[in-house]
Amino acid sequence: HRRGRLVSNSASYAQKNALKPWLKQQWCIPKADAEFVCRMEDVLDLYEEPDDPKRPRVCFDERPCQLLGDVREPLPPKPGRLEREDYEYSRKGVCNLFVYVDPFTGWRHVEATQRRTKRDFARCMQRLVDEFLPDAEVIRVVLDNLSTHKPSALYELLPPDQARRILRKLQFHYTPKHASWLNIAEVEISVLSRQCLRRRIPNIDALQREVHAWQQPRNTQSTVVDWRFTTDDARGSLKTLYPPIME
């Protein structure tokens, strides 16, 4: 009986680990080189620094958002029955959400826009400096390598003196290519998507109201992100990404 149980477990293990060449899984496969490691450690070192109100750390990212409307009026909920909506819906277009988050103090801001061009990015950086954190001496911004995330975008929106004034207060820290998971803003976007966006939202005004209602209690409660992955952790668990030392 015991032997039979071992055989059964062995067969189950073999079946679980059998090759399945007809299946594929999408995976982020980074290019392991010194540039990747340098950017990764730069971001991780930034996360390990102590809080400094004069030099805040802000993670910035964006996500597209599809707008959907109801074709038929949903049936309201009743005792013992959930709200019912028809499976058919109407497409209302696509817009964009910009997300700013200071994961260590628990502040975030989500902004709905029609587009995500270089000028839109420049406006976000202008708001970050002039409206959200005007008393900061320098703002360390973590962001990915999207083609619109360029400091030069400020010069396409503002006069040169204004663009330079804003850039003097910004310090950009870019995540490595194929490593946007290092941007804590993606953690916040994941929470936003699960808690707020899994519903039909018909227009950009309604979307802005929804995300504002979602962010307000999180800001009031100063909900932080408990980031624990450090540079030392990376040198251990991701050591295969480090280039060999050339003699």
The pTM of this model reads 0.84
- Count of CA atoms in the C-beta half-sphere (13 A) of 95: 19
The per-residue pLDDT for 3 is: 47
CB-CB neighbours of 125 under 10 Å: 26
Any residues with CB less than 8 A from the CB of 210 and at least 6 apart, and which? Answer: 196, 197, 201
**pLDDT value for 200:** 92
- Tokens (6 digits) for 22: 């007809």
Above 90 in pLDDT, residue 28?
A: no
Q: What is the pLDDT of residue 86?
A: 85
Mean predicted confidence (pLDDT) in 147-170: 97
**Residues 42-73: pLDDT tens digits?**
999 999 999 999 999 999 999 999 999 888 88
- State pLDDT tens for residues 5-14: 444 456 565 5
Give pLDDT, residue 2.
45
Give the per-residue SS3 of the chain: CHHHHHHHHHHHHHHHCCCCCCCCCCCCCCCCCHHHHHHHHHHHHHHHCCCCCCCCEEEEEEEEEEEEEECCCCECCECCECCECCCCEEEEEEEEEEEEEECCCCEEEEEEECCCCHHHHHHHHHHHHHHHCCCCCCEEEEECCCCCCCCCHHHHHCCHHHHHHHHCCEEEEECCCCCHHHCCHHHHHHHHHHHCCCCCCCCHHHHHHHHHHHHHHHHHCCCCCCCCCCHHHHHHHCHHHCCCCCC
Q: What is the pLDDT of residues 190-239, one digit of tens each?
A: 999 999 999 999 999 999 999 999 999 999 999 999 999 999 999 999 98
